[in-house]
């Protein structure tokens, strides 16, 4: 898909601040205008598309150094709060009004021994519209409104009631987590997405292309995001951006298409096509490019640990461009950057093929979780099983910043879980590309086409034999490799290696092995001079269906006796089969007395 540069050279919070220059200040109440006992309303959607109101009473203001840690403490009540079981996940961003003026966004739930009914923290509108506040530092709260002697303790989840009771001078605030809505994922794919629970198999490309970069999926829960237990389809959500008004639900999408993943929150304020929401971070990404979607709330569900809104995401109607500590900001009508992700999975045993078309956000921090979870789900859904098998996979990755598309074929086997390999290999390749030291690949398309059979298509190296154990420079080494197909026939692969006439070594080693190998002690590590070099190295690294017979010698300039380096090799392809195990034979290299090599 095409990529767009959105709001060139725009530095936030200037994005919203520049727009804020034209705001009517009479729309807002600032901290210096807040007093204890003020009452007002909040707006949110509890069920359906109707915006409900709830009552708000100001208990005081938390005034800490700086302005990003200032909050308005409010007591909330009313039918919407009672029905929701308190402040629910998905309510973050709910606009709070006093006398019809916006004071900020409900962003945190809180527990305080001095306030029994539900209380919450409101992120002041000043920090959500930075220019309106930071251009005038005189806006400080009235002394009578400040909760003196009160300590703000921010915790990750609802605190233990005993801890609250024992700390009367502390308000325990915890995020109204952004609930994650998914459609099209199930089983372990969801665990991988949220918790990063995915065992990396050995022998992937990151073991051989030494860049120091490997995927480390931690899951979306590491960003204080929580998974809604039940999600619906996106079919019933509105598509008209005019429905996005303060108090209405909005979505921030991470993937769209056959698999939908995104966060649900509430819109706080809109001015034309510009808007702010949440009152807290999404993933604290700074300048961003996430699809902004409409959303629909089916109902708000009470839960013991944290109530949550059950909803669905709609179509993209704009882009979230900023993800800051005080909220997210975006514009309706903008197009977010995205990468087309195509999975094609064939179950060779029943001749069934399924295709999955997904668009993922171009955000390297999230790429491992998104590729692994969607990849696992594509394979598991097609095979409808987890277990052994052989997979042949073709990868193709394109980018506007890449000199050429990256194309690679791999074959993997597993006796336990063949689905682990293709998504992990893909994630490693993409992460290596996105974090390369040369230039942004500007990825536009990622595809993986997989054919999977339950049969273990493997060939073991039974033995390697060479025709002598004494050679002279310039001689040929004739070898034979005995191969055993798993539960099948045996065969012999023969070949020849030519010893260089100027080889400065007296020790030779011949090794037969399958797939790629690690760098030997006598070899220089990979050095790449450009993104093109890196793409070429990934594309040409041998797959596991390649048998290699290689001649090694000892580096005479190394102080280490085991400093081997590769001299020459012969390769043989066995498409669709994994070559495993290895075999070595040693020999010596001598200068012939008569000028010709004499073999024993």
Looking at the fold, whether 296 and 409 belong to one and the same domain comes out as: no
pLDDT score for 594: 59
DSSP string across 250-319: EEEEEEEESSEEEEEEEEEEEETTEEEESSS-SS--EEEEEEEEEEEEEEEE--SS--EEEEEEEEEEEE
Residue 571 lies in a domain: yes
Q: State the angle between helix axes of 421-434 and 531-540 in degrees (0 to 180), rounded to the nearest 10.
A: 160
Three-state DSSP at 371 gives helix
What's the token pair of residue 162?
């005993």
Please count the other Cβ atoms lying within 10 Å of the Cβ belonging to residue 315. Answer: 16
Contact between 52 and 80 under an 8 Å Cβ cutoff? The reply is yes
Looking at the fold, whether 166 and 20 belong to one and the same domain comes out as: yes
Three-state DSSP at 539 gives helix
With bands split at pLDDT 50, 70 and 90, how would you rate the model's confidence at 348?
Answer: very high
Looking at the fold, whether 89 and 196 belong to one and the same domain comes out as: no
pLDDT score for 177: 67
More confident residue, 568 or 66: 568
Residue 526 lies in a domain: yes
User: Can you tell me the distance from the alpha carbon of 277 to that of 176, in angstroms, rounded to the nearest whole number?
Assistant: 13
Looking at the fold, whether 40 and 102 belong to one and the same domain comes out as: yes
Over residues 105-133, the pLDDT tens digits come to: 998 887 776 666 788 889 999 888 862 23
Looking at the fold, whether 379 and 438 belong to one and the same domain comes out as: yes
Residue 6 lies in a domain: no
Looking at the fold, whether 218 and 317 belong to one and the same domain comes out as: yes
Return the closest-CA partner of residue 474 out of 501, 510, 506, 504: 501
- Greatest mean pLDDT among 287-291, 325-329, 404-408 lies in 404-408
Three-state DSSP at 564 gives strand
Looking at the fold, whether 152 and 96 belong to one and the same domain comes out as: yes
More confident residue, 325 or 473: 473
Has residue 599 got a pLDDT over 50?
no
Looking at the fold, whether 128 and 80 belong to one and the same domain comes out as: yes
Domain end (from 427, 453, 479): 453
Residue 359 lies in a domain: no
User: Can you tell me the distance from the alpha carbon of 423 to that of 429, in angstroms, rounded to the nearest whole number?
Assistant: 10
DSSP string across 434-499: HT-SS----EEEEEEEEEEESS--EEEEEEEEES-SEE-TT-EEEEEEEEEETTS-EEEEEEEEEP
Looking at the fold, whether 466 and 431 belong to one and the same domain comes out as: no
User: Can you tell me the distance from the alpha carbon of 208 to that of 544, in angstroms, rounded to the nearest whole number?
Assistant: 13
Domain end (from 453, 484, 505): 453
With bands split at pLDDT 50, 70 and 90, how would you rate the model's confidence at 581?
Answer: very high
- Greatest mean pLDDT among 52-61, 66-75, 112-121, 231-240 lies in 52-61
Domain end (from 123, 150, 175): 175
Residue 253 lies in a domain: yes
Q: What is the CA 307 to chain-centroid distance, rounded?
A: 26
Return the closest-CA partner of residue 311 out of 88, 47, 105: 47
Return the closest-CA partner of residue 570 out of 595, 600, 548, 597: 548
DSSP string across 134-155: HT-TT----GGGB-TTPEEEE-
Q: Supply the range of the domain harboring residue 472.
A: 458-589
Look up the CATH number of the domain holding residue 105.
Answer: 2.40.10.10
pLDDT score for 126: 84
Contact between 312 and 237 under an 8 Å Cβ cutoff? The reply is yes
What are the residues whose beta carbons fall under 8 Å from the beta carbon of 488, sequence distance 6 or more? none
Over residues 153-198, the pLDDT tens digits come to: 665 556 666 666 666 666 666 556 688 989 888 889 999 999 988 8
Has residue 207 got a pLDDT over 50?
yes
Looking at the fold, whether 233 and 327 belong to one and the same domain comes out as: yes
| Across 65-87, average pLDDT | 83
| Across 567-579, average pLDDT | 97
User: Can you tell me the distance from the alpha carbon of 549 to that of 568, in angstroms, rounded to the nearest whole number?
Assistant: 9
Residue 148 lies in a domain: yes
pLDDT score for 115: 67
- Cis peptide upstream of residue 548 (ω within 30 degrees of 0): no
Long-range Cβ contact pairs of 34-40 (< 8 A, separation 24 or more): 34/58, 34/61, 34/72, 34/98, 34/103, 34/141, 34/142, 34/145, 35/142, 35/144, 35/145, 36/60, 36/144, 36/145, 38/98, 39/98, 40/96, 40/97, 40/98, 40/99, 40/103
Over residues 477-497, the pLDDT tens digits come to: 999 999 999 988 999 999 999
pLDDT score for 305: 55
pLDDT score for 53: 93
Looking at the fold, whether 432 and 495 belong to one and the same domain comes out as: no
Listed range (224-228, 271-275, 445-449, 572-576) with the worst mean pLDDT:
224-228
Over residues 496-518, the pLDDT tens digits come to: 999 999 998 889 999 999 999 99
Over residues 415-462, the pLDDT tens digits come to: 999 999 999 999 999 999 999 999 999 999 999 999 999 999 999 999
Contact between 300 and 309 under an 8 Å Cβ cutoff? The reply is yes
Residue 537 lies in a domain: yes
User: Can you tell me the distance from the alpha carbon of 572 to that of 356, in angstroms, rounded to the nearest whole number?
Assistant: 34
Looking at the fold, whether 503 and 425 belong to one and the same domain comes out as: no
Has residue 139 got a pLDDT over 70?
no
Helix (H) or strand (E) holding 379: helix 367-383
Residue 421 lies in a domain: yes
Return the closest-CA partner of residue 386 out of 357, 420, 413, 363: 420
pLDDT score for 11: 35
What is the number of structural domains in the chain? Answer: 4
| Across 280-309, average pLDDT | 80
User: Can you tell me the distance from the alpha carbon of 135 to that of 271, in angstroms, rounded to the nearest whole number?
Assistant: 19
With bands split at pLDDT 50, 70 and 90, how would you rate the model's confidence at 13?
Answer: very low
Name the region of 89 (left: φ>0; alpha: ψ -120 to 50; beta: rest).
Answer: beta
Over residues 317-338, the pLDDT tens digits come to: 999 999 988 889 999 999 999 9
What are the residues whose beta carbons fall under 8 Å from the beta carbon of 386, sequence distance 6 or more? 380, 417, 419
Helix (H) or strand (E) holding 162: helix 161-165
Has residue 255 got a pLDDT over 50?
yes
Has residue 529 got a pLDDT over 90?
yes
Has residue 234 got a pLDDT over 50?
no
Has residue 370 got a pLDDT over 60?
yes
Has residue 575 got a pLDDT over 90?
yes
Above pLDDT 90, what percent of the chain? Answer: 57
- Greatest mean pLDDT among 18-32, 213-227, 304-318 lies in 213-227
**How high does pLDDT run on average in the chain?**
85
Over residues 84-110, the pLDDT tens digits come to: 788 888 888 899 999 999 999 998 887
The residues that bridge with 446 in the sheet, in sequence order, are 341, 397
């Amino acid at each position: 898909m095409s990529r767009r540069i959105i709001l060139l050279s725009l530095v936030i919070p200037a994005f919203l601040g520049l727009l804020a220059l034209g705001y009517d200040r009479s729309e807002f109440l600032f901290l210096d205008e807040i007093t204890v006992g003020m009452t007002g309303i909040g707006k949110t959607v509890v069920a359906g598309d109707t915006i409900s109101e709830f009552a708000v009473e100001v208990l005081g203001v938390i005034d800490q150094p700086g302005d990003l840690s200032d909050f308005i403490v409010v007591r909330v009540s009313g039918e919407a709060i009672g029905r929701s079981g308190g402040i629910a996940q998905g309510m973050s961003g709910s606009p709070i009004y006093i006398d019809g003026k916006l004071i900020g966004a409900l962003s945190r739930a809180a527990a305080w021994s001095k306030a029994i009914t539900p209380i919450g923290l409101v992120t002041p509108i000043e920090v959500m519209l930075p220019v309106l506040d930071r251009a005038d530092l005189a806006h400080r709260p009235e002394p009578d409104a400040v909760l003196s002697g009160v300590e703000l303790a921010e915790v990750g989840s609802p605190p233990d009631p005993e801890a609250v009771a024992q700390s009367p001078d502390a308000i325990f605030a915890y995020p109204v987590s952004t609930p994650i809505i998914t459609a099209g994922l199930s089983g372990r794919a969801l665990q991988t997405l949220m918790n990063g629970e995915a065992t990396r198999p050995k022998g992937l490309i990151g073991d051989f292309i030494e860049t120091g970069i490997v995927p480390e999926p931690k899951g979306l829960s590491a960003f204080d995001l929580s998974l809604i237990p039940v999600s619906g389809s996106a079919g019933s959500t509105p598509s008209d951006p005019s429905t996005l008004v303060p108090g209405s639900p909005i979505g921030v999408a991470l993937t769209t298409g056959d698999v939908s993943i995104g966060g649900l929150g509430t819109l706080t304020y809109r001015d034309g096509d510009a808007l702010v929401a949440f009152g807290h971070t999404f993933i604290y990404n700074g300048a961003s490019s996430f699809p902004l979607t409409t959303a629909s709330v089916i109902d708000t569900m009470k839960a013991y640990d944290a109530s949550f809104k059950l909803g669905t995401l709609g179509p993209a109607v704009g882009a979230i461009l900023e993800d800051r500590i005080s909220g997210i900001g975006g514009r309706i009508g903008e197009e977010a950057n995205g990468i087309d992700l195509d999975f094609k999975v064939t179950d060779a045993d029943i001749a069934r093929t399924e295709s999955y078309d997904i668009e993922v956000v171009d955000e390297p921090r999230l790429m491992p979780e998104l590729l692994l979870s969607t990849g696992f789900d594509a394979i598991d859904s097609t095979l409808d099983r987890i277990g052994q098998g052989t997979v042949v996979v073709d990868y193709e990755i394109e980018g506007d910043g890449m000199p050429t598309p990256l194309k690679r074929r791999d074959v993997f086997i597993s006796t336990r879980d063949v689905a682990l390999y293709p998504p992990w290999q893909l994630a490693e390749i993409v992460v290596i590309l996105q974090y390369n030291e040369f230039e942004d690949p500007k990825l536009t398309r990622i595809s993986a086409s997989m054919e999977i059979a339950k049969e273990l298509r493997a060939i073991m190296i039974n033995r390697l034999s060479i025709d002598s154990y004494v050679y002279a420079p310039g001689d040929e080494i004739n070898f034979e490799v005995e191969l055993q197909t798993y539960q099948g026939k045996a065969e012999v692969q023969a070949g020849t290696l030519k010893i260089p006439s100027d080889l400065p070594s007296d020790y030779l080693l011949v090794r037969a092995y399958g797939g790629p190998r690690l760098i030997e002690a006598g070899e220089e590590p990979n050095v790449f001079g450009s993104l093109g070099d890196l793409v070429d190295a990934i594309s040409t690294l041998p797959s596991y269906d390649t048998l290699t017979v290689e001649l090694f010698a000892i580096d005479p300039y190394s102080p280490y006796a085991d400093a081997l380096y590769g001299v020459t090799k012969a390769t043989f392809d066995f498409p669709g089969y994994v070559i495993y195990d290895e075999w070595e034979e040693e020999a010596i290299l001598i200068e012939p007395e008569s000028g010709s090599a004499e073999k024993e």
